[in-house]
Amino acid sequence: MTEELANKFDAIVVGAGFAGLYMTHKFKSQGLSVKTFEAGEGVGGTWYWNRYPGARCDVESWEYSFGFSNELEQEWTWSERYSPQPEILKYLNHVAKKFNLLGHISFNTKVVSSEYDEQHAAWEVTTNSRENYKAKYLVMATGCLSSTNIPDFRGLDDFSGKTFHTGNWPHQPVSFKGQTVGVVGTGSSSIQATPIIAEEAEKLFVFQRTPNWSIPAHNEPLTKKKSDEIKSKYQELRKFQLKLPLAAQKAPNRQSAFDVNEQTRLETYEKYWNIGGLSFLGAFRDIPTNPEANATAKNFIIDKIKRVVKNETVLNKLIPDHHVGCKRPCSDTGYYETFNRPNVELVDAREEDIIGFTRSGICTNAKEYKLDAVVFATGFDAMTGSLDKVNIIGRNGLRLKKKWEEGPKTYLGVGTAGFPNFFIITGPGSPSVLANMVVGIEHHVNWIGECVKHIEENGYTNVEVIKEAEDNWVSHVNEVANRTLYTTCNNWYLGSNIPGKPRVFMPYIGGFPKYAEKVKAIVESGYKGFAFS
C-alpha cells in the first residue's frame, strides 16, 4: 500500500456524509491509506446542511441507519419513528468517533478539481486552499441532493430582509417571531418547514408554483418496547428490507388497483394511508405505471385533503394535477392543516407569477408582498450538481461535465467510461434517491471495497468502465423510466427544475432488489462491462 506521505494516499473520498463516512471506514479497514475532504465544519453531509425547522427523515429511523456493524445497531437508540435532523447528525458524529474516522477527514475543505494523471495512473486532487493530493482511487461521496438551487429572481440582491435556503440553514437559532415570512416552494423541505414556521411567524405567505401530493407521516415516539423489538431482530428486518423495491417501508401490495372492487380498493388505500408516509405508494402495484390506477390513488388523497382544508379556494389550489409519485411525494405532519390558520396565506405562483424581488419583498404580476424574511425551499441541482462543481478530468483531458452535457452517463451508477479508478456513490443510473439512501450507500461502498480488493489482489493498476456496457446501461435506465408515469411531469429526477439542464431521467427506477441482482450477476461473471489493466 502507498505510504501516507507527501499528500499521497491510496484513496481520496470527497464528502463526509453517510456515504463518505462508510467509504472511509471501509478503505481504512482494508488497510488502505485514505484521505477524506469535507466542505462543512463537521460530518453529516445532507444532515449537516439541512437544519431547517421540521427537518426529519421520511424513512423510518431504524431503516435509515447503518447495518454494517451489529455493535452500532445495538448501542444506538432512536427516539422517534422518523428521526429529526439533530438526532441523525448526532448519530453520524457517533459513527465518526466510534470508527476513528475523524483523523482522516479534512474539514472546511472543498475539492475544486480532480485530474487523472495517465503517466502515474493516479488522481491529482486540488482543494480550495490550493493544496494538491494524489491517490490511486477517487470516490465521490458528494450526495444526490447537496447542490442548493436558488432561482435567479430579478432584484434578489436588493431585498433588505433576510434570506435562507432550507439546504444551507444557519447553525445559530433563527427566530421568525413577529415577522412576515415568505416560503418559496412546496416540495418535501417546504412541507416539513411550513407548519413550524407558521406557528412562530406573525404572518406566512407560501408561494406555490406546483402543488405536491403529501401523505401524513404518522410520526410517533419510539417506545423502549418497540426499540428493543427492532434490536432483537435487526438482521431479519434488514434481510427483508433488501427484498423491497424501495429497500424500506412496508411490503407493497402485488395487486392491481383493478383486481379488487371499489370498496376493497378504498379499504386498501385506507390501510396504507394509516401506515403513514411513502408506503402509501405501495397500495397497488400499478400506481406508478397505469394512469387509471394512479387516478384512483389521486381521488383517495383528494378526499383526505378535502376533509382537512376548510377554505374551498385554497383547497382547490392545493390539489395537484400531476400523477401521484411523478414529483417525489412528501410526508408531512400537519401540512394541510396549516392552511386553516388565520396567519397563513397560499399564493398561487402559477396564477400570479413571481416577477422578482423589491427592497421590501416579493413582487408577483398581481401585487407586492412585503416580507421580513424569505425561505427558499427551492430544492437542488440534483444528482449531477455536486459533481459538476468539481472540475473532474479523466483520460485524454475529458471533462466529466462535458461528457455529461446531454445527461449523465454511467455504468450501474458507480463508474463512467474514460475515468479509471473513479467511483461515484449512489450516482445517476443507480436506485439512489428512489430507494432508501442508506441501503444504496452501503451497497455501493461494499461493492467499491470488493472491486478495489480485486484490483489489489490481482496486481492490476486500473478498473475502467467499458463504453458499450455504459451505453447499454444508460438505455436500460431510460427504458425502465419510460415505462412509468414518472417522466410525465416536471421533477428533479428529470433535471427539469434547473433551467438549461437536459431532460433525462437520472435515477434507476427498476427497484433496489432488481438492481442488486444485476450488480451481483455482473460481479459473478467476472465484472462484465469493466476492464481491468
Q: Which is nearer to ligand N01, 114 or 497 (CB)?
A: 497
Give the nearer residue to ligand N01 in terms of CB position, either 349 or 455.
349
Q: Does 432 bind ligand N01 (CB under 6 A)?
A: no
Asked if 85 touches ligand N01 (CB under 6 A), the answer is no
Indicate the helix (H) or strand (E) that contains 218.
none
Interface pick for ligand N01 out of 61, 65, 190, 487 (rule CB under 6 A): 190
For the chain, the straight-line distance linking the first and the last C-alpha, in angstroms and rounded, comes to 18
Query: What are the CA-CA distances from residue 275 to residues 197, 244, 271, 272 (Å)?
Result: 26, 16, 7, 5
CB of 190 to ligand N01, least distance (A): 6
Please choose, from the candidates 448, 419, 431, the residue with its C-alpha nearest in 3D space to the C-alpha of residue 383.
431
* Contact set for ligand N01, span 463-502 (CB under 6 A): 490, 492, 497
- CB 410, min distance to ligand N01, A: 20
Closest to 64 in 3D by CA, of 453, 331, 401: 331
8 A C-beta contact, residue 437 and residue 507: no
Nearer to ligand N01, 301 or 455 (CB): 301
- In the block, cell 424500506 appears at 248
354 counts as binding ligand N01 under rule CB under 6 A: yes
Q: With binding defined as CB under 6 A, does residue 326 bind ligand N01?
A: no
> Of the two residues 125 and 434, which places its CB atom closer to ligand N01 in the complex?
434
Among 184, 204, 293, 425, binds ligand N01 (CB under 6 A): 184
Q: Please, are residues 197 and 176 in contact by the beta-carbon 8 Å criterion?
A: yes
Number of residues that bind ligand N01 (CB under 6 A): 28
Nearer to ligand N01, 61 or 192 (CB): 192
Nearest residue to ligand N01 on Cβ basis: 187
Binding mask 286-325 for ligand N01 (x = CB under 6 A): ----------------------------------------
Q: Does 180 bind ligand N01 (CB under 6 A)?
A: no
Find all residues with CB under 8 Å of 118, minimum gap 6, and list them. Answer: 395
Which one among 16, 21, 44, 58 touches ligand N01, defined by CB under 6 A? 58
Q: In this complex, which beta carbon is closest to ligand N01, that of residue 20 or of residue 379?
A: 379
Is there binding between residue 332 and ligand N01 (CB under 6 A)? Answer: no
**Of the candidates 512, 514, 492, 513, the residue with the CA atom closest to the CA atom of residue 503:** 492
DSSP string spanning 481-521? HHTSSTTSS--GGGTTTSTT------S--S-HHHHHHHHHH
Beta bridge partners of 11: 34, 137
Q: Are 248 and 59 in contact (CB under 8 A)?
A: yes
Question: Does residue 188 bind ligand N01 (CB under 6 A)?
Answer: yes
Of 47, 126, 38, nearest to 92 (Cα)?
A: 47
Please identify, using beta-carbon distances, which residue of 49 and 76 lies nearer to ligand N01.
49
Residues 6+ apart with CB under 8 A from 225: none
The closest alpha carbon to 495, from 507, 484, 486, 504, belongs to 504
Under the criterion CB under 6 A, does residue 151 sit at the interface with ligand N01?
Answer: yes
Residues 92, 145, 222, 324: which binds ligand N01 (CB under 6 A)? 145
Binding-site ranges for ligand N01 (CB under 6 A): 57-58, 145, 151, 166, 184-190, 192, 207, 209-210, 328, 331, 349, 354, 377-380, 433, 490, 492, 497
